[in-house]
Structure 1
Amino acid sequence: MQAALSEPSRDRSARMAAAPCAKSNRAMRSLSITAFATLALLAAGMPSPAAADDLEAEIIEIAEALREDFGNAVRWKPTNPQINAISHKLRDAEWLRAYVELTYRNLPTGQSAAKPGQTEITVIGPDLGELPGGYRQQIDHFRPGTAIYGFRYTEPGKDVGMRYDGLFRVDGKWFLIPKAWRAFGK
């Protein structure tokens, strides 16, 4: 039977048999591109869209705990490996460690991080444009791709309020270095 098929018919049969494979290959390429894009975002410190909602909820949970008592920040004091993970160079890690010890030693306790009436929480970051300018000036001290977050307590309907920054997430664990850019001041 195969010998009876003319050359054009054989080509058409091959194309027909390959059509499902071509669709499958296109689907796999699309899936691969989507997966690659998600991995690239994660590697750059940028959350995937679905993960961004989870990150925001986690940051709001931290902000709520600090609203109760700023002394709760000790729950998010960074460990040495966490500091190393966000530091560009060894010297940067040393500066951050010294800054963390000083900051947590002088941490106010028994008071809210928010002012009375500031019941709204807005998450800021990882876009550096949303964070204090010190981060843009000192970004070379942080490992490339490090995502920095913060949050703002505001009164309903207002845009200004108490702002906190220096939230980092490494290996699924959050830690807080308030105004971390100050560790590298002049």
Structure 2
Amino acid sequence: MRKLILFMSTSLDGRIGGANDETTAENTIDTPEQEDHRYANQLFAAADTVVFGRLTYEGFIGYWDTLDLSDASVPAVEVEFAQAFRRLNRVVFSRTLTQVPDNTLLINDDIPTQVGKLKKQVGQDILLVCGPELLATLAEQGLVDELLLIILPKALGKGQSLFGQLRQPMNLTLMTTRAFKSGGVLHQYQINNA
């Protein structure tokens, strides 16, 4: 069975957005040539499916699907990520979207059952990029297998917490840690679904 792996960047205090909805990655990782961006490129290139909540999906397609890859001013690391992203099968969970492009599967009900079916399909592990509501829904059902978190060198104090909607503790086992030159630290955790 394929694993569902959450991949997110957060502030040191677990925020994925500041008080005014700014994202921590945009405020902390400002040069796309950094080692942490290359790590994301490799991760997305090795996957075949990515799962999103609606807001994250709209942010990703709004930038990565429209990026002009022939523009010489676009950094090579961004071109590489866009190419990897554009070839992925995409799944978006939304109660409000009514249509999506051909390369995207829209699921608007019975999310846990649908994710269970995705995990049983043949293929690579599945990346999950989402906010706290979808994470809580999937974690509560024991469907998330691993966390890949890049902890950015910034504490926001206020804003949207990635884990703010969990209704039960998430017990984790640390698998690996990697420090990036940018100051970000990648932690890979296995979720102990007991």
TM tier relative to shorter chain: under 0.3
- From the two aligned structures, give the one with the greater helix fraction: 1
TM-score scaled by structure 1?
Answer: 0.23
TM-score scaled by structure 2?
Answer: 0.23
Larger relative contact order (CA 8 Å, sep ≥ 6): 2
* Larger Rg belongs to: 1
